[in-house]
Amino acid sequence: MSPAVSSVPHHPHDAFFKEVFADPANARQLIQRHAPPELVALLDLETLEAFDTGFIDEDLRQHFADLSFRAKLKQGSEAYICLLLEHKSYPDKWVALQLWRYELQILDNLRQQGAQHLPAIFPMVVYHGRRRWRISKQLHGLFDLTGLQSIRQYVPNFKYHLFDLTALDDKSLSEDGLVNAALGAMKHIFDNKIQLQLGQILRRLRGLPHDQMQRAVQIVLRYIMTGATHLTRADFEQVMNTEIDEQLQEGTMTVAQQLILEGKQVGLAEGKQVGLAEGKQVGLAEGKQVGLAEGKQVGLAEGKQVGLIEGKQVGLIEGKQVGMQMGLIEITQRQLRRRFGQIPVPVTAKLEHLSASQLADFGEALLDFTSLAQVQAWLETVPASESHRLN
């Protein structure tokens, strides 16, 4: 049964996780290596297949990557496995409640389909935020049961399995393949020195067949270039020049072409004009900066299509930042209008001067706001010296 098509995730971490692990072969590896051994021992993972969750309500889909699978037990019955990505920059104490809702919708749908018995559901949260996950992994952790020990058994409860990438040893990801490269990218995506891991992450893909390798490089590199806010142009160029061989370079060129066609390379040093009639002048200015002997030719028609191939991806990183900034601002404004209607001009102006990380923090805090006054109060706490706009 194929999974239903849902709306495109707004967050790059969510989109990346879904693109990699919607493939049952990759999900099988994730479960085999990182689910509890007692669960793995029960499952016939060769029978793992996507489980249709098209009936899950849209509100709940916004919280998760919407990946669900089912696999037969070795004894012949079935169990349903939910893989959900927690990608906030801080642990979310409400994830147990959201998982509970998710499970109830699955079980109720099966009941409506005439199931005589309900299957077991194993919830697995993959977390890679900036801080350790220190909150309770049980639904009971959300209840105030003070003085209620005698009736504790009547309060609904379950426990989810947490795969915490922040606590994972990189040595466990040393084996080549897309799964380990993807997990490595997710683990280090928020690192201030992600460039120290970039070459190693990409080299894990070299053992794949050529077509698969090129596709995998595109998936992983696109995620890193759109999600790693600390990765600078200089860092990226150094890795491309010193650690990536010709085989992998081919994949990086393809990513460059795609990002250019999508308009995500806006931000080239001399005016973000690639693709316009002034491409020749932009190529010249960019060529002077990167020391290209033939700088005058960079920015011609070929430059528009391949993103200044001789410029070693110059502009992609800056363009990523601008594209992300604009996208985050637009999404945040839409969320505000949906919650509170017309947004005052001072609030809109303040949002446009927040950094990408501040916008991400604001988006998370927005879940708890109940009034525009709280929005304005939060914005007033942002230090003016940290606020800026990407040009």
Tell me the percentage of the chain whose pLDDT exceeds 90: 22
The DSSP line for 242-266 is HT--HHHHHHHHHHHHHHHHTTTTT
Among 70, 54, 72, 65, CA closest to 20: 65
Q: For the segment 29-39, what is each residue's pLDDT rounded down to a tens digit?
A: 999 999 999 99
Pick the range with the lowest mean pLDDT from 117-121, 142-146, 325-329, 350-354: 325-329
What average pLDDT is seen over the chain?
A: 77
What is the rounded distance in angstroms from the CA atom of residue 161 to the CA atom of residue 182?
20
pLDDT tier at 320, thresholds 50, 70, 90? low
Place of tokens 């594209």: 323
Pick the range with the lowest mean pLDDT from 23-27, 111-115, 136-140, 369-373: 369-373
Contact between residue 224 and residue 239 where contact means Cβ atoms under 8 Å apart: no
Does the pTM of the predicted model rise above 0.85? no
Q: For the segment 197-240, what is each residue's pLDDT rounded down to a tens digit?
A: 888 898 898 888 888 888 888 889 888 888 888 888 788 778 87
pLDDT given for residue 335 in this prediction: 80
CA distances to 5, 52, 97, 265, 275 from 297, rounded to whole Å, are 44, 52, 58, 19, 14
> How many CB atoms are located within 10 Å of the residue 367 CB?
12
> Across residues 72-86, what is the average pLDDT?
72
pLDDT given for residue 1 in this prediction: 37
> Across residues 65-93, what is the average pLDDT?
73
Q: Enter the tokens of residue 144.
A: 């105030």
Give phi and psi for 162, each to the nearest 5: -105, 120
Residue 289: enclosing H or E segment and its boundaries?
Answer: helix 279-290
Among 217, 291, 282, CA closest to 254: 217
Looking at the predicted structure, is the pLDDT value of residue 196 above 70? yes
Enumerate residues 6+ apart whose C-beta is below 8 A from 22: 3, 50, 67
pLDDT tier at 386, thresholds 50, 70, 90? very low
pLDDT given for residue 369 in this prediction: 81
Domain boundaries, the chain: 12-167, 268-314, 319-386
pLDDT tier at 75, thresholds 50, 70, 90? confident
pLDDT tier at 2, thresholds 50, 70, 90? very low
Q: How far is CA 187 from the centre of its chain?
A: 11
Query: Three-class SS of residue 126?
Result: strand
% helix / strand / coil in the chain, to the nearest 5? 55, 10, 40
Between these two residues, 219 and 317, which has the higher pLDDT value? 219
Enumerate residues 6+ apart whose C-beta is below 8 A from 14: 65, 85, 87
pLDDT given for residue 117 in this prediction: 87
> Across residues 245-267, what is the average pLDDT?
59
pLDDT given for residue 265 in this prediction: 45
Contact between residue 69 and residue 48 where contact means Cβ atoms under 8 Å apart: yes
Enumerate residues 6+ apart whose C-beta is below 8 A from 39: 31, 122, 161
Pick the range with the lowest mean pLDDT from 75-89, 223-237, 251-265: 251-265
- Partnered with residue 67 across adjacent β-strands are 83
Question: Where is mean pLDDT largest: 83-92, 120-129, 203-212, 296-305?
Answer: 120-129
Pick the range with the lowest mean pLDDT from 81-85, 98-102, 232-236: 81-85
